[in-house]
Amino acid sequence: MKKNKRVGYLIHELVTHPGVSYSSETFCTALDIARSSLSEDLAAAREIIEEIGTGTIETLRGTGGGIRYLPSLNEEGFRRLQQELIRRTEDPQRILGGGYLYTSDFMYDSELIRPMALYFAGCFRHADADYVVTVETKGIALASQVAFMLGLPLVIVRREAKYSEGSTVSINYFSGSYDRIQKMSLAKRAVQPGGRAVIIDDFMRGGGSSKGLAEILAEFDVEVIGTGVAIASKEPAKKKITSYIPILWLDAIDEERRIITARPADYLNPSSLL
Amino acid sequence: MKKNKRVGYLIHELVTHPGVSYSSETFCTALDIARSSLSEDLAAAREIIEEIGTGTIETLRGTGGGIRYLPSLNEEGFRRLQQELIRRTEDPQRILGGGYLYTSDFMYDSELIRPMALYFAGCFRHADADYVVTVETKGIALASQVAFMLGLPLVIVRREAKYSEGSTVSINYFSGSYDRIQKMSLAKRAVQPGGRAVIIDDFMRGGGSSKGLAEILAEFDVEVIGTGVAIASKEPAKKKITSYIPILWLDAIDEERRIITARPADYLNPSSLL
């Protein structure tokens, strides 16, 4: 295989299997090349991905070493994503009343899910997580793409225990958004004790459901090591959890004048999070 | 940019934006090359993808033409996927009783979702669909990956009308699996009349929920043009819908002897489906 096809092959394999670790042998055998040529080809592949701004290729030497594609989103891509999200969020037709916005269209839009997932994958790529966890339903498409980008299993917490989940553990928690007690339920076989979880959700108001997720995971001895939310409401300023990474801030919804105000959150540089 | 980097760039861009149509100008400008060089580079990229067996790059000339990556899964990859799914499905620990199996682990596993989604994307790539539709919850991760691969929006039908969905239309349908009337609800803004939908779900027993999905979509004047299910139960042989594409057949669950029997479904060659 010629060099240009080898580089293309490596990019295809790595980008379609993010977070998965390959040995040098795997690629040397597949491409029928020596290690020195593989190093050159990987350097070219890494250059391309870093120029595009969607992550890097990590090469660890020695035992336990391996070659992995680690996705992330550079600041330029992040700003472009925020602009598009703000443009769409501020459309007054989204106003449902009672402080609610219709957001299903862009939360289920592949072209927006991909850069959002790249960003969160970059934020949590060195967090050494075992699971990406969300609660049904609106954050699932995003969370499943983050799980794919981190090469981790997705765990979905249900609102109600379902027979097809087998034995479950349930908790009650207070949801500020709905101003009432809500339920969450997780299958006993879904996680292992001692695991580490990243929580991904589409929206955070008071942080009640994120806190609920942390509580139900604690029942399984699973620790939450990070939380990413696509949109966080500015109010209430005091949330039930202290640490979370938003992409947008929703500042205000003026229902009378039909004006929605959103603004970009700070960019977290993945290399500063090591 | 050297040729090997150009081919790598094209593969990255196309594979991470499946179904999206690019003009030649976009790539000629981004890579600073003439059309003749772009043709050569695209030919190399196409060769790589076709060799790997994950689809092709389509080039349409003239107005309305464009360059698109069309994902699919070749027969070898499909057989490998089926073997792995059968191995995992037949694990007797999945038996929950009452004819139920626990399947959340592999329905939320990125490494299995990707080839399943490639396969369904291949089956429906020329179906000219507008939406990929599923009903919450277990098929969402798969359906959202199929939507991504087809470059289409995902539509999630809810079990209950939620305030955050705005006005909804609801139907009642009979679920054979649960032996009772169930409800489905879809946001009025989720689809446009006259649209065409592909339905994706994780499991089909009697076909009640697929039929329910067709009924609720009919309320919106949206036509179902294809249905893909990861696992279809052999029994009942007479389903409520007649046309669907499974990956596996679940033949029998012998709860006493704790034996699950699954077998591979036929491979549909995407080029035969034109």
B204-219: per-residue pLDDT in tens? 999 999 999 999 999 9
Does ipTM surpass 0.90 in this model?
A: yes
Question: Do A204 and A246 touch, CB atoms closer than 8 A?
Answer: yes
The answer, for B104 touching chain A at a CB cutoff of 8 Å, is: yes
- Give A-chain residues touching B102 at CB under 8 angstroms: 164-166, 187, 189
Q: What is the pLDDT of residues A202-217, one digit of tens each?
A: 999 999 999 999 999 9
Residue with tokens 């998965």: A20
Q: Which of B2, B4, B198 to mutate to test the interface with A (most CBs of A within 10 A)?
A: B4
Strand bridging mode A168-175 / A131-135: unpaired
pLDDT at A12: 97
Q: Kindly indicate the confidence band of residue B161, based on its pLDDT and cuts at 50, 70 and 90.
A: confident
Cα distances from A100 to residues A95, A184, B121, B166, in angstroms, run 6, 22, 34, 9
Do residue A140 and residue B137 have CB atoms under 8 angstroms apart? yes
DSSP alpha helix (H) spans, B58-179: 75-89, 104-107, 110-124, 140-150
What is the number of alpha carbons within 13 Å of residue A200 lying toward its C-beta?
A: 34
Element (H, E) at B193: none
Question: Do B154 and A108 touch, CB atoms closer than 8 A?
Answer: yes
State phi, psi for B101 to the nearest 5 degrees: -125, 145
Cross-strand partners of B168: B187
Q: How many CB atoms lie within 10 A of CB B241?
A: 17
Cα distances from A17 to residues A207, B1, B87, in angstroms, run 32, 25, 22
> In a 3-state reduction of DSSP, which class is residue A92?
helix
What is the distance between the alpha carbons of residues B249 and A82, in angstroms, rounded to a whole number? 44
Cross-strand partners of A133: A155, A199
What is the distance between the alpha carbons of residues A9 and B232, in angstroms, rounded to a whole number? 34
Nearest to A141 among B5, B114, B144 (CB): B144
Q: What is the pLDDT of residues A1-41, one digit of tens each?
A: 788 899 999 999 999 999 999 999 999 999 999 999 999 99
Element (H, E) at A202: strand A196-204
What is the distance between the alpha carbons of residues B118 and B112, in angstroms, rounded to a whole number? 10
Percent of chain A with pLDDT over 90: 87
Cross-strand partners of B224: B197
Q: Residue A177 pLDDT > 70, yes or no?
A: yes
Nearest to A11 among B12, B105, B158 (CB): B12
What is the distance between the alpha carbons of residues B26 and B28, in angstroms, rounded to a whole number? 6
Nearest alpha-carbon partner for A214 in A245, A178, A181, A171? A171
Distance from CA of B142 to the nearest CA of A (A): 9
Percent of chain A with pLDDT over 70: 98
Strand bridging mode A196-204 / B168-175: unpaired
Question: Do A167 and A186 touch, CB atoms closer than 8 A?
Answer: no
Residues 6+ apart with CB under 8 A from B250: B89, B101, B231, B232, B233, B234, B260, B261, B262
pLDDT at B3: 83
Kindly provide the residue ranges of all beta strands, DSSP E only, lying in A64-175, ordered along the sequence.
66-71, 95-97, 100-101, 131-135, 154-157, 168-175
Residue with tokens 């959103």: A262
State phi, psi for B4 to the nearest 5 degrees: -65, -35
Q: What is the dihedral of CA B214, B207, A156, B130, to 10 degrees?
A: -30
Q: What is the pLDDT of residues B91-117, one digit of tens each?
A: 999 999 888 999 999 899 999 999 999
Cα distances from B108 to residues A224, B162, B181, B210, in angstroms, run 19, 24, 27, 20
The answer, for A188 touching chain B at a CB cutoff of 8 Å, is: no
Residue with tokens 């580079």: B41
Q: How many CB atoms lie within 10 A of CB B79?
A: 13
Nearest to B151 among A41, A47, A110 (CB): A110
The answer, for A46 touching chain B at a CB cutoff of 8 Å, is: no
Chain A / chain B CB contacts < 8 angstroms? 178
Q: How many CB atoms lie within 10 A of CB B215?
A: 14
What is the rounded radius of gyration, in angstroms, for the C-alpha atoms of chain A? 21
Element (H, E) at B177: none
The answer, for B20 touching chain A at a CB cutoff of 8 Å, is: yes
Q: What is the pLDDT of residues A49-103, one digit of tens each?
A: 999 999 999 998 776 679 999 999 999 999 999 999 999 999 999 999 888 999 9
